[in-house]
Structure 1
Amino acid sequence: MADSAPQPTAKTEDPESAPPDTAQRRRRFTVDTTPLRIKPFRRLWSSTVVTAIGSQLTAVAVPLQIYEDTGSSALVGVAGAVALVPLIVFALWGGAIADLRDRRTLLLFSNAGIAVTSLLFWVQAALGMQSVTVLFVLLAFQQALFGINSPTRTASVARLVPEAQLPAATALTSTVAQFGQILGPLLAGALAPVLGISTLYLIDTLALVITLRAVWKLPPLPPLKVTARRARLTDIFDGFRYLWPRKLLLVSFLADIAAMVLGMPRALFPEMAHSYFGGDAALGVLYAALPVGALLCGVFSGLYSHIRRHGMMVVLSIVGWGLAVAGLGLAHSLWLAALMLALAGAADMISMVFRGVILQSEATDEMRGRTQGVFTVVVAGGPRLADLLHGTVGEVAGARSATFGGGLLVVVAVVVLALAVPAFWRYAPDPMKSA
């Protein structure tokens, strides 16, 4: 070691030859791409890259079509309620199936079904049906299939990568999803006035068809500890019985519900874009601004592994989310609204990472599908319930007042929750458990 010390050209060599401790410092701050060396995970991840963009085109097109056909933010909010019930039912049921059947088969079925639903969205738009009822029916079917797909996809990751790489794999998946949420809405806002809403649905359909090949090439993922069988109602309740004594998981879910239901004014974005910020192009910016902040936090997610107080980080990040949403309600320019949403997105990514770590630490492998089913209900169902709440309140009180008030309520709710359950605020993973 002493012989290598006095090399005069060491500082001028390329980055690949930097001392190990310097390279390690760089890796502490950036996303760990090690899981992508594993071919099955790379295939699953690559399918997410494609669908992350295409699915956002439909996510923007549906509320935009409803608002353009009816001029009602309340009906945009009702769409959230229409999506919520099948999402809840099929996420819980799908999580149970994911623990009892081959996950690859379940992914193929749900991905193909979502592709068919997107094709039907295109048909109704291309025919100019202008039927809110048809949109609601298709949305319900789409969310039912998403409810099956999401916990199955998430639970599959742990079977494709070693346990030590789960945090890195989760960060990679979340980061690419956030990238899709940036590019997708921007494309939707730019393409909708030029190509029409129906084309957005068609692009999503083609993207979903492309991903089927990657899913097809995944290895079989049958259950490890039980014989494959049909999921029963008792299997779903087993998931709740498993979660009930684990109060840290419950508090984590409640904190996220408070943040999403009270502080996600997504249903008001079309009204804000048209009334305050200039139209469809502004709508794309509003939808994209949230994941911009989240993506930046994802890129530098190497920092997260050095923080021990996970419960504290969840509370602080949700407080930050609420304050940023309240700031959105006060914004009178598009750039300031985008900044507030970007800050909110950054806070949401931090919250999501640490809530995910808590879930991975507390849940066992044989219950992962069911716990991920509950997680899907909370993460995806909360914003849809928020669509109903904000759409309705915004119709009465106005978009800005509903947004500002919701953000403040988030802060109050999470502070009360932290005071009521101080063990969550103090929570840190057991170093012996993770060793």
Structure 2
Amino acid sequence: MNDTKRTPSVVAMRVGEFRALWSAEMLSVFGDQVARVALALLVFARTNSAVLAALTYALTFVPAILGGLLLSGLADRFPRRTVIVVADAGRGCLAAAMAVPGVPLPVLWGLIGLLTVVGAPFKAAQLALITNVLPKDALQAGQAVRQVGSQIAQVAGFGLGGVLVLALGTTASLALNAATFFVSAAIVRVWVRSRSAPTTDQNAEDSVPAGRPDGRLIAIFMLAGLTGLLVVPEGLAAPFASAAGVASFGVGLLMAADPVGSAVGGWWAARRPVEVSSAWRPVIVPAVLAGVPLGLCAVLPGAWWAAALWAISGILSTIYLVRMVAAVGQLVPNARRGAVMGRLSTCLYTSQGVAILCGGVVADQVGPATAVALAGAAAIFCAVVAGLVWQSARPRQVRGVADEPAPAIAA
């Protein structure tokens, strides 16, 4: 193929270090989903308690908040490849300990929490390192490829998790999860070259000086927070299907709608990358539009309409998320990129848990269709506000960087 005809996603996939990071992430995500299925079944089999099974599942997410706030900065203090390898090796040891037969439940829960906490510096270092290994014109496409790969790995992990647990048992399935972490660490160690820890001397290549606050980042964190509103439908799929009068097949259809849309959105974002570091529209417009299909659920009832609308929302939300992460890679100085990426990921996780919980409370009062519509309206409002913040920040940055000497010249 002629080089001039290569799409940005092809350019990204031709970078060996990116392929290694992408493969390692997919492997870890797949193992995580298998482990979640195995742990839920293991705890429920031991206790016959749905509450304790749900607690076990929650522990695979909630401690990431603590890890993201406290440990993301490690990706800026130490070489990022080292952070990834050490974090994966540590998670492999913790996962192997979870696979020991008969481990007491309190110990098991502690191991799950620690494993989740250790995942935070891994994610921060990985996201920051991708911005170092990919050329700028392929960065957005690379993030889109990541998004699609992650969705595929999640669906495959959940889909095969039950089969693997039945075939291998919970102990072997948890051991398989441990193995994925060790293999992931080996892939990164062998195929990603060593780089020194980021320093402030590297900031000259970035668009924003290290010590200067950038209002665009405030808008980006607002956009990360509103993602929770856009996943409220997933949390309400069962009551939505019940209210629509469809069977368990309808629940699966509704829960699959957003991941399917997300895969399409990732493909589109990889195919049509745009410049986002100095423009707000490529990020804000799809963020605003992502809430519109959810708002229509109030006037277009029924499971089939809902599935189509949720898929469209998934397409638009993935497009803006991919562009948003690419913007962070361009706006944040390299020496601070790991901490910002890690905290942004934490914001994404936290917002989803909080929004789904609130969505359930609202659905009990007004019904699931109305609750989904209200979540969409709230997402539109938040996206518009984020757009205004981003737009108002740009002129201030331009004056601060480009026009500051002007008064002295005039004088």
Deviation at 1:357? Answer: 2.9
* Alignment partners' CA distance in 1, 2:44 and 2:373: 22
1:351-430 pair list within 5 angstroms: 351-394=320-363, 399-419=368-388, 422-423=391-392
Match of 2:145 in 1: 172
Could you say if the C-alpha distance between residues 35 and 428 of structure 1 is closer, same or farther in structure 2, counting changes exceeding 3 Å?
Answer: farther
Deviation at 1:254? Answer: 0.7
Could you say if the C-alpha distance between residues 159 and 354 of structure 1 is closer, same or farther in structure 2, counting changes exceeding 3 Å?
Answer: closer
CA contact (8 A) 2:198 2:334 kept: no
CA contact (8 A) 1:321 1:343 kept: yes
Deviation at 1:362? Answer: 1.5
- The unaligned stretches of length 5 or more in structure 2 are 202-208, 403-411
Could you say if the C-alpha distance between residues 306 and 410 of structure 1 is closer, same or farther in structure 2, counting changes exceeding 3 Å?
Answer: closer
Please give the TM-score of this superposition, normalised by the length of structure 1. Answer: 0.71
| Deviation readout 1:308-331 (Å, 9 max, x if unpaired) | 984223333223332334456875
| From 340, 346, 349, the counterpart of 2:315 | 346
CA contact (8 A) 1:309 1:426 kept: no
Q: How many residues align?
A: 386
- Identity across matched positions, percent: 20
CA contact (8 A) 1:80 1:388 kept: no
Could you say if the C-alpha distance between residues 250 and 383 of structure 1 is closer, same or farther in structure 2, counting changes exceeding 3 Å?
Answer: same
* Alignment partners' CA distance in 1, 2:83 and 2:184: 14
| From 191, 197, 205, the counterpart of 2:163 | 191
Letter in 2 for 1:149: F
| From 87, 95, 98, the counterpart of 1:110 | 87
* Alignment partners' CA distance in 2, 1:212 and 1:264: 34
Match of 2:15 in 1: 38
Letter in 1 for 2:66: V
* Alignment partners' CA distance in 1, 2:166 and 2:242: 17
| Deviation readout 1:26-47 (Å, 9 max, x if unpaired) | x5xx552223333333222221
CA contact (8 A) 1:321 1:348 kept: yes
CA contact (8 A) 1:311 1:426 kept: no
Could you say if the C-alpha distance between residues 148 and 331 of structure 1 is closer, same or farther in structure 2, counting changes exceeding 3 Å?
Answer: farther
Could you say if the C-alpha distance between residues 310 and 150 of structure 1 is closer, same or farther in structure 2, counting changes exceeding 3 Å?
Answer: same
CA contact (8 A) 1:31 1:299 kept: no
| From 195, 207, 227, the counterpart of 1:221 | 195
Deviation at 1:352? Answer: 1.0
Could you say if the C-alpha distance between residues 169 and 215 of structure 1 is closer, same or farther in structure 2, counting changes exceeding 3 Å?
Answer: same
| From 127, 134, 143, the counterpart of 2:116 | 143
Match of 1:232 in 2: none
Match of 1:312 in 2: 281
Please give the TM-score of this superposition, normalised by the length of structure 2. Answer: 0.74
1:268-287 pair list within 5 angstroms: 268-269=236-237, 278-279=247-248, 285-287=253-255
CA contact (8 A) 1:33 1:172 kept: no
Superposed CA RMSD: 4.4
Match of 1:153 in 2: 126
Deviation at 1:251? Answer: 0.9
Deviation at 1:259? Answer: 3.2
Deviation at 1:90? Answer: 1.9
Letter in 2 for 1:110: A
* Alignment partners' CA distance in 2, 1:261 and 1:381: 11
| From 37, 53, 59, the counterpart of 2:30 | 53
Could you say if the C-alpha distance between residues 305 and 363 of structure 1 is closer, same or farther in structure 2, counting changes exceeding 3 Å?
Answer: same
